[in-house]
Amino acid sequence: MKKNTLIMTIASLALVGSGWARTWTSADGAKTFEGDFVSLNDTSVTVKLGRKDMTFKLELLSEKDQEWAKAEGAKIAAAAGNEKAAAEFAESDFGKALKKLQKFDETKFVDHKLEEAPKYFLLYFSASW
């Protein structure tokens, strides 16, 4: 029984360590390789192959892979833009007032950090006469 548990643990760790590699295809469709997307610039894409980062010209990849890499690059750029806007908002007077922002996490309130700048605000005003 202990031997089976050990084997399952090792197999699980191997799967977790391998990540979710994507199969990339060359422009002519003759070659494929597996790797994790790292980054994209105007003319090249960086892919993690094992422990090494390799940079390829974007034109060497298939049309489908080029489109996917551009979409992932846009997502990363948008996320970075959101983080920057959230940081700028946090430094504003209103953002400083929200430093102790919390959210409800199933059973209790926990501290919450803004991941992006708010787009809308709800203003509630109550007066007693």
Q: For residue range 31-79, list pLDDT tens digits in order.
A: 999 999 988 988 899 999 888 998 989 999 999 999 999 998 888 888 7
Count Cβ neighbours within 10 Å for each residue of 77-113 and write b for 16 or more, e otherwise.
Answer: eeeeeeeeebeebbeeeebeeeeeeeeeeeeeeeeee
Tell whether 68 is covered by a domain. yes
The predicted model scores a pTM of 0.54
CATH code of the domain covering residue 103: 2.30.30.700
Q: HSE on the CB side for 3, CA within 13 Å?
A: 0
Tell whether 53 is covered by a domain. yes
| Backbone conformation region of residue 64, classed left if phi is above 0, alpha if psi is from -120 to 50, else beta | alpha
Number of domains in the chain: 1
Q: Could you tell me the residue range of the domain that residue 36 belongs to? A: 20-111
Tell whether 119 is covered by a domain. no
